[in-house]
Structure 1
Amino acid sequence: MLTSLSIKNYALIDSLHVDFNDGFSIITGETGAGKSILLGGLSLILGKRADLSSLKDASQKCIIEAVFNISNYKLKSLFKAEDFDYEEQTIIRREILPSGKSRAFVNDSPVNLSSLQLLGARLIDVHSQHQTLQLTSNDFQFQVIDALANNEAALLKYKAELKAYKTLQKEYKELLDFQAEAIKEHDYNSFLLNELTEANLVEGEVETLEEEYETLNNIEGIKEKLSEADQLLSDDDLGVINALTTLKNVFQKLSGFSSKYEELFNRANSSLIEMDDLYSEVNDFQEHIDADPNRLEVVDAKLKILHSLMQKHVASNVSELIVIKDALEEKVSVTENLDDTIQKKQSEIASQETLLNTISKDIHDKRLKVIPQLKKQLETILVDLGMPNAQFNIEAVYGDTYFENGKDELSFLFSANKGGSFNELKKAASGGELSRIMLAIKSVLAKYIQLPTIMFDEIDTGVSGEISNKMGDIMLQMSKSMQVFSITHLPQVAAKGHSHFKVYKEDVNEVTQTNLIKLNHDERIVEIAQMLGGTEMSTSAIAHAKELLN
């Protein structure tokens, strides 16, 4: 509920602060006294765009601040989603600077206008004869029916499952799109994979084959050099082995004279052993090296294949080719198994549809059950509001489409006159009738859900005293469960309020200012008497005012 409102430097308001109570509050004042200014200031708190022309003193900033008690409004999730600091006593402040810049704050944290509008809609509902579009909205009509049907939990469940359903549908479409593209590439990918598979790729194979190729391709030269090495090692006259044998024998004879010579002997002996081993390997190579034109041809062909594949796939080695081959295997496998994946996704979608159908049918059944109750309650209230022939034709037809709030298509038709045809509300009802219908709907809603503070702005304009009396009774009844304001010119309504505020103008230092004061009991008698009989109050007007207040 709105507990206080402060306005500084706005339109005709220099400085104003007022505290409000719960229950039914009345706001009265002569035409032009500034009630629209008060609503204009309040609308800034609710997120309306600021206008520099609103500043009373263009050199000073305008500040509008409202305090709300939101402990019963279940707004913690909204505050969390919008990253507001949650406080049960929440303060909203708007500032309009002389530069034209506007700032908004919730509990001293800056917020943008879209977030403020979202919060404001949950705090105050300002309703006038010119603001009945909400009533003709299909979404609002569903909200009314679902409030009576107690569908809140079922709708939350439905919306969560609908979100999951849409995610499955998106994934299914992506699979179909992927399959269409994959089929185009499948044959080519299969061809590439077969090429790589047939190449029998082995890591490091290129280096091994290139070494073998060099050997086979230069076999005669290698043989010649091995023979030369054999001769250098084993020649009887000049061979290294014979020379080292002689040298070893010389050092052996010297080794008995000194340990220094023994060291020379050991080194010569080691060298001779190494040369013997080298000679054995040369002999082994000579025995096993032979020209093999067929093998050379095979090696050459395999190298050409590998180099061709590396060039084709822009790979620097066989290891990279193996990675590419593995990726192609996965692509081909995924494409070949897509049908199974798609069938599985179709099955998941079908299961989700079954779940959605179950929830939406439950929502539908509850709606059907309460529609007659809603129709009866509205028509009964409208009889008291001077519309004895008002009738509603409300139908919820269960269809095939998954809407955001179920599978129903709603027909909310109205006829104001006996024997008249039913039509959409915006076509069948006048502005005044729409206003009374909205009052009837809001009064019904107040019995079932916690509504925000509601401000009725002269919705009783143009109605008779008796009907205005009924309208006042309805607003008074609503105020038992919520905070209700009524801006009115009718004394029958004004007398029903728990609190009464008066908007008035006064000239201060030859400057006109708008003010708002709370009236005490005696002041209310005077105000209501003036509403009854004008400024020249008669004794009967005062007596009538007292009677209305009592």
Structure 2
Amino acid sequence: MLTNLSIKNYALIDHLNVKFTNGFTVITGETGAGKSILLGGLSLVLGKRADLSSLREKDNKCIVEAEFEISKYGLEAFFDENDLDYEKKTIIRREILPSGKSRAFINDSPVTLDILSQLGDQLIDVHSQHQTLRLADNDFQLKVIDALADNGKGLKEYASKLLLYQSTLKELQNLEDFQNSATKEHEYNSFLLQELISAPLKEGILEELEEQYEQLNNVEIILEQLSHGQQLLNEEQIGVVNLLAELKQVSNKLAGFGHQYSDINERIKSVFIELDDISNELNLLNEKVEADPQMLEQVNTKLQLLYDLQKKHKVQTITELLEIRNKLDEKVSATENVAVDIDRKKKELKLLEAALNTEASNLSKKRKSVIPNLKKQLEDTLIDLGMASATFKIELNPSKEFKPTGKDDLTFLFSANKGSSYGDLKKVASGGELSRIMLTIKAILAKYEQLPTMMFDEIDTGVSGEISNKMGDIMQAMSNSMQIFSITHLPQVAAKGVHHFKVYKEEELMGTNTKMKKLSAEERIVELAEMLGGKTLSDSALAHARQLLD
């Protein structure tokens, strides 16, 4: 419910602040007084695009602020999803800066126009003759039927299953696409994988083989150097080991003459042991080393294989080859297992399809059950609104595909006159007829669901006094369960309002200013009398005005 509206520096409005309450509120005023300006300002906080030319004073910013009581609207989830503070009394503010930039706030948190618009759609429904084309939209028509059928819970369950069905269908399509493309590559990938599996791939293998190759390829040099080393260590006359043995004997004799000599003796012993061990090691190596052309060939073959694989796969290390092997293994395995996955997904899809068909069938049954009642309510109400011959043809036909709202194709046709053929609403109904049909539908909807604040903008234009009286009755009845605004030129409608506001212009020093005030009981009589007979008030006009109010 809209509880307060403040507009600053917008078009002909300098500063306007108005409080509203629940029930039926009518807004009147002469043509050009600024009723459309009031709606324009309100539309800014509902998320409509801003126009810099609408600034009253070009150097100051325009601020429009609206306060809503939203405790009955169930909007907590919307606030959570958009990370906004939920307040039962929510304030929406829109600022248009002189630079042309626009800012929007919900409870002082900055938001995008898209979020503002989404919230605005759930707070106020502004309806004018120009917006009646929505009547011809199948989604809107189906929404009306679903409201009467109490399909809210069923639609949520259907939507949840549809989402799962669509994601599973997507997964199946991806698997089938993968299978089609992978089948072509499978043979080649298998060949590459087998090639890598056959290769001696392990961490450090390349360095190990390169070292082995160097040893086998240089046997003669190694043997020659080992022999030379043994000679240096063990030659009878000048061998290092023999000379060190003599040195050890000398140090043994000196060891008893003090710790400094014993230390030297121990060090010489250590050197002798180490050198003797080295001599033995060289001897063992010399015995092991032998020429093995066959082994050299084998090592060389393995090395060339690894070098070729690195070049083929454009990598530098064995680690990278191992990674490629693992990825190829995954691809080959996935290709070999995809048929099993596809079969499993098809079974899942079949079960989901059956569940969806059940949900869609339940929705359809409930819709069909309320269509006769909707048709009767529409036609009965339109009789009172001067459309005695208006009839509707509403049919549901099964659809082959799953739609966002089920598996129904809706046909919603209209005939305004007896004997006339049925056709789409937008093609066969006039603007005035569309307005009355929309009012009727909104009145029916109000009985079945909590609607937002509704603002009817001159939808009674061009209708007779008697018909406008009936339209006023409908709006008045709707206001028992919701907040209704009607901007009207007709006294018959204006008299039905519980609250009556007048929009008017005033000439001031700074220019013309649009203002708005709530009328007292006496002021309402004068306003209605002027709407009936013009500015010159006659006794009959005043009497008629009082009669309308009574």
Q: TM-score, normalised by structure 1?
A: 0.92
Q: Deviations over 1:280-332 (max 9, x none)?
A: 33333343333222222222222222222233334434343323322222222
Inter-CA distance 283–98: structure 2 relative to 1 (3 Å threshold): closer
| Cα deviation, residue 474, structure 1 | 0.8
Q: Residue 251 and residue 40 in structure 1: after superposition, are their counterparts in 2 closer, same or farther (change >3 A)?
A: closer
Distance in 1 separating the partners of 2:443 and 2:71: 22
Q: Matches of 2:366 and 2:167 in 1, distance apart? A: 28
1-structure distance, mates of 2:339, 2:71: 54
- Counterpart CA distance in 2 for 1:314 and 1:177 is 28
What is the CA deviation profile of residues 19-65 of structure 1, one whole-angstrom value per residue up to 9, with x for unaligned ones?
A: 22211111222333332222222222322223333233444433332
Q: CA deviation at 1:340?
A: 1.7
TM-superposed CA distance for 1:510, in Å, is 9.0
Offset at residue 261 of structure 1 (A): 5.0
**1:245 to 1:120, Cα distance in 2 relative to 1, 3 A:** closer
Per-residue deviation at 1:371? 1.2
Give yes or no for the alignment of 1:433 onto 2:433.
Answer: yes
CA offsets 1:375-420 (integer angstroms, 9 cap, x no match):
1111111111111111111112221212122221111111111122
- Write the mapping of 1:22-421 to structure 2, written as runs, cut at 5 A: 22-255=22-255, 261-263=261-263, 265-421=265-421
Amino acid at match of 2:439: L
| Higher mean displacement: 529-538 or 441-450 | 529-538
Q: Distance in 2 between matches of 1:60 and 1:247?
A: 108
- Describe the superposition over 1:336-379 as per-residue Cα deviations: whole angstroms up to 9, x where unpaired: 22222222233333332222222222211111111111111111
Q: Which amino acid letter does the alignment assign opposite residue 475 of structure 2?
A: M
d(CA) in 1 for partners of 2:283, 2:105:
96
Structure 2 letter corresponding to 1:540: S
Which secondary structure state, in structure 1, belongs to the residue aligned with residue 130 of structure 2?
A: coil
Match of residue 506 from structure 1 = 506
> Aligned in 2, Cα 1:415/1:217: closer, same or farther, shift over 3 Å?
same
Residue 44 to residue 246, structure 1, CA distance change in 2 (3 Å): closer
**Residue 519 of structure 1: CA displacement?**
1.5
Q: Give the superposition deviation at 1:140.
A: 0.9
* 1:408–1:241 Cα change, 3 Å: same
Residue aligned with 1:211, SS: helix
| Equivalent residue, structure 2, for 1:450 | 450
Distance 1:55 1:212, change over 3 A: closer
Matches of residues 471-510 of structure 1 in structure 2 within 5 Å?
A: 471-509=471-509
1:15 corresponding residue in structure 2: 15
Q: Could you list the per-position Cα deviations for residues 4-24 of structure 1 after superposition, in whole angstroms to 9, with x for gaps in the alignment?
A: 222333333333322222111
Give the share of equivalent positions with the same residue, in percent: 60
2:520 matched residue in structure 1: 520
Cα pair distance change 1:51/1:325, threshold 3 Å? closer
Cα distance change, pair 82–326 in 1 and its aligned pair in 2 (3 A): closer
**Distance change in 2, residues 1:435/1:268 (3 Å):** closer
The number of equivalent residue pairs is 550
Q: Aligned-pair distance for 1:459?
A: 1.6
The aligned amino acid for 1:531 is M
Q: Secondary structure at the match of 2:277?
A: helix
Deviation string, structure 1 residues 490-540 (Cα, Å, up to 9, x no partner): 222222111112223333349443322211112222222333333333333
| Contact 2:200/2:302 (<8 A) preserved | no
Distance in 1 (CA, whole Å) between partners of 2:471 and 2:493 is 7
Deviation at 1:150, TM superposition (A): 1.2
- Given residue 48 of structure 1, which amino acid in structure 2 is its aligned partner? K
Amino acid at match of 2:437: I
Greater mean deviation of Cα atoms: 135-144 or 348-357 = 348-357
Given the alignment of the two structures, is residue 424 of structure 1 paired with residue 437 of structure 2, yes or no?
no
Residue 265 to residue 498, structure 1, CA distance change in 2 (3 Å): closer
CA distance in 2, matches of 1:293, 1:57: 100
- Tell me by how many angstroms 1:126 deviates: 1.7
* Residue 266 (structure 1) shift: 4.5
Letter in 2 for 1:470: K
4+ long deviations beyond 6 Å: none
Equivalents in 2 of 1:184, 1:231: separation in Å? Answer: 67
Deviation at 1:264, TM superposition (A): 5.0
For residues 346 and 273 of structure 1, the distance between their equivalents in structure 2, rounded to whole angstroms, comes to: 79
User: What is the CA distance between 1:250 and its match in structure 2?
Assistant: 4.2
Whole-angstrom distance in 1 between the partners of 2:184 and 2:151: 49
Change (3 A) 1:364 1:221: same
Q: Report the Cα distance in structure 2 between the residues aligned to 1:111 and 1:144, rounded to whole angstroms.
A: 31
What is the Cα deviation at residue 239 of structure 1?
A: 3.6
Moved more, 374-383 or 321-330: 321-330
- For residues 194-221 of structure 1, what are the alpha-carbon distances to aligned partners after superposition, in whole Å with 9 as ceiling and x for unaligned? 2222223233223333333233222233
Q: Name the SS for the 1:337 alignment partner.
A: helix
**In structure 2, what residue type is equivalent to 1:329?**
D
Equivalent position SS for 2:410 = strand
User: One-letter code of the match for 1:514?
Assistant: T
Distance verdict in 2 for CA 1:233–1:151, change over 3 Å: same
With 78-87 and 391-400 compared, the bigger mean Cα shift is at 78-87
CA distance in 2, matches of 1:252, 1:420: 137
* Bigger shift: residues 207-216 or 488-497: 207-216
**TM-score, normalization by structure 2:** 0.92
Unpaired stretches in structure 1, ≥5 consecutive residues: none
* Greater Cα shift, 115-124 or 178-187: 178-187
Change (3 A) 1:216 1:438: same
The residue identity in structure 1 corresponding to 2:399 is G
Amino acid at match of 1:207: E
The amino acid across from 2:159 in the alignment is: K
**Residue 131 of structure 2 aligns to a residue in which SS?**
coil
CA RMSD between the two structures: 2.5
One-letter identity of the residue aligned with 1:116: L
Q: Residues 186 and 14 from structure 1, CA distance in 2 versus in 1: closer, same or farther, beyond 3 angstroms? A: same
Aligned-residue offset at 1:233: 3.9
Q: Deviations over 1:471-498 (max 9, x none)?
A: 1111111000011111222222222111
Letter in 1 for 2:138: N
AA matched with 1:325? R
Q: CA deviation at 1:443?
A: 0.4
CA–CA distance in structure 2, aligned partners of residues 94 and 499 of structure 1: 27
